[in-house]
Amino acid sequence: MDKSKRKAIIAGNWKMNKTPAEAKELLTAITPLVKDADCEVIACVPFVDLQTALEVAEGTNIKIGAENCHWEESGAFTGEISAKMLTSMGVEYVVLGHSERRQYFGETDETVNKRTKAALAAGLKPIVCVGELLWERECDITEEVIARQIKLDLFDVSKEDVKKTVIAYEPVWAIGTGKTATADQAEEVCAFIRATIAKLYDQKTADAVTIQYGGSMNDANADELLSKTNVDGGLIGGASLVAEKFAAIVKAASK
Ligand code: PGA
């Protein structure tokens, strides 16, 4: 399928950075730099920054996302935030299953699947992260790991809903390390993800899904990564905290 028919999406993942005042400053700096973007631009920000971010982004082409959500609508889940709470504010996207959540907070494919279904049911578009550890790549089981995550994370997600889901391929060894996957490595796994979705659903559905690459993507390597057939965008950590760098990646995706 012609890549240009898919929506290119550049999403910043701010992680645990920026107070509301700092979030306002950063988004205000990003706004004029990305206003002519020919791709979707998203800032996924900490919960406490959401209200500010939504206010600053109002009337601009920047969409706002959260960095997680719980699978229940409400109840005794101290410290958690539901998908409905997010949509009620005007949040459109949510990052789910990020490797830092899997690594440090006990997130499993089962909970990623529950969160994905809850997000979709509430009208949020999930950005579901998958990726292999370094030793898994060294043991040559990258495809097994990715196929397992895709199958489990998308279990029971309908064809219509999977089209609203963004997949972010983030090799764990490339996150925050400065070690980017080569464009060919990124393309290989993104193509494998699409093939896996085609097997689970059908080719037409797979061709409609936006698949991002994430892991040390920056203004210097974005062009090459985004030129690949199956790399439809990026999930950007570190570089999303610097307005000019983030804008340069958005520009690369707009070509
Ligand atoms: P990084 O993070 O760009 O800082 O490597 C990417 C991510 O974790 O989403």
Task: Report the candidate in 170, 72, 53, 62 with the shortest Cα–Cα distance to residue 119.
Answer: 72
Residue nearest to atom 1 of ligand 1 (CA): 237
174 is a domain residue: yes
Q: How many CA atoms lie within 13 A of 67 on its CB side?
A: 21
Tell me the pLDDT band of 1, cut-offs 50, 70 and 90: low
1 is a domain residue: no
Kindly state if the Cβ of 96 falls inside 6 Å of ligand 1: no
Instruction: Please tell me the pTM assigned to this model.
Output: 0.97
On the 0-12 / 13-18 / 19+ scale of CB atoms within 10 A, 92 is middle
The alpha-helical segments, DSSP class H, found in 18-158 are 20-34, 50-57, 83-89, 99-104, 109-122, 134-138, 142-153
Is 170 in the active site? yes
Section 129-139 average pLDDT: 96
Report the number of distinct structural domains present in the chain. 1
Section 105-113 average pLDDT: 98
CATH number at residue 110: 3.20.20.70
Is 70 in the active site? no
Among 40, 70, 98, 107, the active-site one is: 98
The predicted pLDDT at position 255 comes to 81
pLDDT in tens, 181-206: 899 999 999 999 999 999 999 999 99
Residue 133 CB: number of other CB atoms within 10 A? 17
pLDDT in tens, 20-45: 999 999 999 999 999 999 999 999 99
Residue range of the domain that includes 248: 9-253
Residue nearest to atom 2 of ligand 1 (CA): 237
pLDDT in tens, 60-104: 999 999 999 999 999 999 999 999 999 999 999 999 999 999 999
